Amino acid sequence: MAREVGAVLTIANLVPDLLGTYGDGGNALVLAQRARARGEEALLVAMAINDPLPDASIYLLGGGEDGPQRLARDVLARGSLAGRVRDGATVVAVCAGLQILGTTFSVEGDDQYAGLGLCDVTTKRGSTRSVGELRVRVGEHLLVGFENHGGRTTLGEGVAPLGRVEHGRGNDGVYDGFRTGNLWATYAHGPVLAQNPWFADAILSSVLGYELEPLDSVADLLYEERSRTIRS
């Protein structure tokens, strides 16, 4: 649901028991802490496998192994995530979470599975697995992180990539992730928002509806160091 001004900012980690292989829970923590540092009241919630979809302004989807990825899709398809997104909720998805948001995905073998269909994005199994540092040009910024996946993702008409790959594979070796409506997705798994404070603030700003004041922290030093280290 779109958030009312002054309301508590609720951030929900979706099925972290299935999608949380790579420290992805860190992203929810980063959003909450950076919102609190700006005087917002933030609440972190987690949706377990048997829970109903919680009411939240931001939903996060992490990475996961093949079996749990399919189960996560089934669990989430039963809920009303699509409806919440139509009502204005934001989704931030990494890795397996990115694949689940689309219309179809293949994991082991070539069997195709239905995704949640929130956007026109399809993922096939690539010929190789991509494991390593990822560096993506997003406008004036860099997005730095680590990817570990075997997917090749194709974006449909009207779905804009998040950025252009400068090192690593991302979706297809050229582009990484996507940004469409309230959906943000990248193959940089784990605490990508911790390594890229500008990215966390861009998401928060879009949800809160105002420009955020800069927030000096050690995360800026980490971002500078990783941007220098991961060469294109």
The residues that touch another protein, with contacts defined as CB under 8 A, are 17-18, 20-26, 29-30, 33, 48-50, 65, 67-68, 70-71, 131-133, 146, 148, 189-191, 194-195, 217-219, 221-222, 225
* Closest approach of another protein to the CB of residue 160, in Å: 26
- Nearer to another protein by Cβ, of 122 and 226: the residue is 226
* Closest approach of another protein to the CB of residue 26, in Å: 3
**Nearest CA to 109 among 66, 73, 144?**
66
The letter for the amino acid at 38 is: R
Number of neighbours of residue 167 by Cβ within 10 angstroms: 15
- Nearer to another protein by Cβ, of 123 and 195: the residue is 195
Give one DSSP letter per residue of 137-203, joined into a string: EETTEEEEEEEEEEEEEEE-TT-B-SEEEEES-TTTSSEE-EEETTEEEES--SSHHHH-HHHHHHH
* Closest approach of another protein to the CB of residue 183, in Å: 22
- Nearer to another protein by Cβ, of 29 and 98: the residue is 29
- Nearer to another protein by Cβ, of 116 and 194: the residue is 194
Sheet harboring 9-14: ordered strands across? Answer: 42-47, 9-14, 58-61, 90-94, 183-186, 178-180
* Closest approach of another protein to the CB of residue 182, in Å: 24
- Nearer to another protein by Cβ, of 24 and 176: the residue is 24
* Closest approach of another protein to the CB of residue 1, in Å: 26
Q: What is the DSSP letter of 3?
A: P
Nearest 5°: phi and psi at 13? -90, 125
